[in-house]
Amino acid sequence: MVLGVAGAGFEVLLNPSVSGHSGGLLGNVGAAIEHPVTLAAGLAMTAVCVLVGSAVGALCNPPLLRHPATAMLATLAAAVFALASDVSPAGAALRHASNAFSPHWPDGVQLLGAACLLVVAWTASSLVAARRENGSASA
């Protein structure tokens, strides 16, 4: 999440399209302050992507996948799928980024979907880790 906030700050400070004019650094900060809905939508989109990324990491790494090469390839494939798919909360959030001024976004559906995906992924990972730990302790 820290990297997402840093990325949002970078875009606010250096992107000339935020203010619509070349007012420099202070003009960009002033434009971001004048449009807090856009900044909040960007931070909500960052939160959705962080939650989906965390779920991908929990599902595609040990203890669920034991082999490092398989885990790396599965993580890469799942991350690409999460960003490119219409069914992914992160993909939906990125597609709705152009509608940031719409009063219907962020409506929380993407954030709720990402949080549910994260809970399922962490639960599966925890259950598998506990099962493997119990199996190795009794052996």
Q: Are residues 80 and 134 in the same domain?
A: yes
Q: What integer pLDDT is reported at residue 22 of this predicted model?
A: 59
**Given a cut of 80, is residue 78 above it in pLDDT?**
yes
Higher pLDDT, 9 or 89: 89
Q: What integer pLDDT is reported at residue 74 of this predicted model?
A: 92
Instruction: Identify whether the C-beta of residue 61 lies closer than 8 Å to the C-beta of residue 47.
Output: no
Q: Are residues 30 and 44 in the same domain?
A: no
Range of the domain at 4: 1-34
Q: b/e per residue, 80-108, with b = 16+ CB within 10 A?
A: eebeeeeebbbbbbbebeeebeeeebbee
Instruction: Identify whether the C-beta of residue 56 lies closer than 8 Å to the C-beta of residue 82.
Output: yes
Helical spans, DSSP H, in 21-108: 24-34, 36-59, 68-84, 89-95
Number of domains present in the structure of the chain: 2
Model pLDDT for residues 33-72, shown as the tens digit of each residue? 777 777 777 778 888 888 888 889 888 988 888 899 999 9
Q: Are residues 44 and 24 in the same domain?
A: no
pTM summary value: 0.69
Q: What integer pLDDT is reported at residue 72 of this predicted model?
A: 92
Q: Which amino acid is at 35?
A: H
The pair of three-digit structure tokens given for residue 10, joined into one six-digit string: 């970078």
Q: Are residues 63 and 108 in the same domain?
A: yes
Q: What integer pLDDT is reported at residue 17 of this predicted model?
A: 56
Q: Are residues 52 and 116 in the same domain?
A: yes
| Residue that the structure tokens 């599902």 belong to | 59
What is the rounded distance in angstroms from the CA atom of residue 100 to the CA atom of residue 41? Answer: 6
**Given a cut of 90, is residue 77 above it in pLDDT?**
yes
Where does residue 44 fall: left (phi above 0), alpha (psi -120 to 50 degrees), or beta otherwise? alpha
Round the average pLDDT of the chain to a whole number and report it: 77
Q: List the Cα angle 57/67/128 in 5-degree steps.
A: 60
100-129: average pLDDT: 75
DSSP 60: S
